[in-house]
Each structure stands twice: as C-alpha cells, then as structure tokens.
Amino acid sequence: MSDFAFSLCLKHRVALVTGVGIGRAAAIALARAGAFVGVHFHKSFDGAKDTLDTIKELGGQGMLLQGDLTDEDQANAVVDQLAMQTGHLDILFNNAGSPLRMMPFAEMPLELWRQVFDVNLTSAFLATKRAVPHLRASGHGAIINNLTLSMQTGGSGGAAAYAASKGALQVLTRTLAKELAPAVRTNAIMPGVIETRHHEVYSTPAKLADYRKQTPLARNGTAEEVAQAVVFLASDAASFINGAILDINGGRFLR
C-alpha cells in the first residue's frame, strides 16, 4: 500500500453521516475506507436501511440513527447513541439539508424561511455542538459541511432561503476551523449539479441538460464523486487542510 493510500485509510475511526442523497454515497465510501458509519435518517428509514445493508454486504460496519436534527434533544440523542455504541467519534459529515420548497423571495412566508434555515443550518449547529467533545478527544477529529453552488449563483428561481442558509454554513465552517483547531479540522465541500434525487425533485430534465452544457467537463456530477472528496477531507491525507471550501462542479464555477 502506498503512503498516500495508507493516509486515506479510516480503519478504527467512527463517522456520523447526516441526511440522504449524497449522504448515502458518502456513508458507503467512508465504510469502504474502513470507518464504522452512523447512518442518520429522519423519515427515510427504507433508504437508510438500504445504505446500511449495502455497507454490510461490502464487509463494512455501521448502525442506523433516527432523529430530527432540528430538535436539540433528538440531535443530541443521535450523536450520543453513536458515541456510546462505539466509544468515540472521529468524523462528522453535516450533509442533511433541503430547499424544502422553491418560492420567490417576495412571496416567501417567514415560517418557510425559518424552516429552511433550521434544516440546513440549525441541524449542523446542533449535531456539531454535541459532537465537539468527542471530536476533540479523537486525535483525528474532522468535520465536513456540505454547501451548494447556489451560494455563488443564487440558485435557480426560488432558492433564496436555501442559498442564504448554506452561505451561513460556509461562514460557520470558517469560524469552526479557527475555534476548534488544532484538535479538529473543519472543511466544506461545495458541489455543483450532482444528479441525485435532489435534482429529480427541483430541476427539470431540460434544466439538467442546460447545466451539462454550461459545465466545461460537459456533464453533471455523481454522488460517488462527491463522496470521494468527503473521504479525502476526513482522512490524514488532508491533515494540513483546514477551513477550506472544496469545489466539486466540473468547472462550472471558477473562483
């Protein structure tokens, strides 16, 4: 095994992956790299069970964790169950999030605005806060937050709350990178258009085709490609990367 391949090994580490979609691919990839994975879900039991079954079929280990991460007691319970089962927690991938509903800003009710911020930002706040003591004690503590290219583009019509909440998560990433270091590294990924159920719901086939045309690599991404970036940022291969935002968009957005 090469030194680089060895540094990507996550054997004996424990990861919590929140949410579905990219979360499924990330959970499987982390397990392939050797981690014990806590597969979180709120309502999608069947999808989470299928993810865990796949992990076990591949020879990996993990457990299901159910909870509404916008509720402090439930978020605490998700983290506590995993830490009690395994004795430690090394990696947190804050992936849970959704636009919930696309709606023009001028028509958006306050209730929806707050719900979107809860799902995308408060959930990460609560899970991370509860995880911090475990991550600090780990010796390999790593947090990866899932952002969105909508932060840079404003998203398609009706994404104001989603883009704004993810923008706030970007700032939180940088704050945590300073506050939690050197014990914990905090980074984020910023996917472009990734062909998951998210875009089946919120993008039309014509819009997905337009995105492909706008991307220098002439295609949209896959959840598996994003998952490899999560493994990298969680691993010792990224040991001097802290406070970074990793673009995964095929060149559609260039800084």
Distance (Å, whole) CA 65 – CA 240: 31
Q: Is residue 51 part of a domain?
A: yes
Q: Is residue 243 part of a domain?
A: yes
Q: Is residue 38 part of a domain?
A: yes
- Please, which pLDDT band fits residue 200 given cuts at 50, 70 and 90? low
Residue 147 has pLDDT above 80, yes or no: yes
Look at 4 and 155; give whichever has higher pLDDT.
155
Which residue stretches of 118-204 are H helix? 123-138, 150-153, 160-179, 197-202
The domain of 240 spans: 3-196+222-247
If you average pLDDT over residues 133-161, what whole number do you get? 92
Q: Which of the following is catalytic: 162, 186, 232, 246?
A: 162
- Please, which pLDDT band fits residue 253 given cuts at 50, 70 and 90? confident
CA atoms within 13 A on the CB side of 194: 25
Residue 160 has pLDDT above 90, yes or no: yes
19, 44 in Cβ contact below 8 A?
A: no
Q: Which of 187, 162, 179, 185 is nearest to 245 (CA)?
A: 187
Residue 3 has pLDDT above 70, yes or no: no
pTM of the model: 0.93
Residue 220 has pLDDT above 80, yes or no: yes
Task: Fill in the amino acid letter for 255.
Answer: R
Q: Is residue 182 part of a domain?
A: yes
Q: What CATH number did the domain enclosing 28 receive?
A: 3.40.50.720
Q: Count the domains in the chain.
A: 1
Q: Is residue 184 part of a domain?
A: yes
Q: Is 29 helix (H, G, I), strand (E, B) or coil?
A: helix
pLDDT digits (tens, 9 = 90+) for 13-46: 999 999 988 999 999 999 999 999 999 999 999 9
Q: Is residue 211 part of a domain?
A: no
The pair of three-digit structure tokens given for residue 90, joined into one six-digit string: 């090394």
Q: Is residue 207 part of a domain?
A: no
Q: Is residue 252 part of a domain?
A: no
**Cα pseudo-dihedral 161, 166, 168, 169, rounded to 10:** 150
Residue 184 has pLDDT above 90, yes or no: yes
Residue 202 annotated in active site: no
The distance from CA 90 to its chain's CA centroid, rounded to whole angstroms, is 15
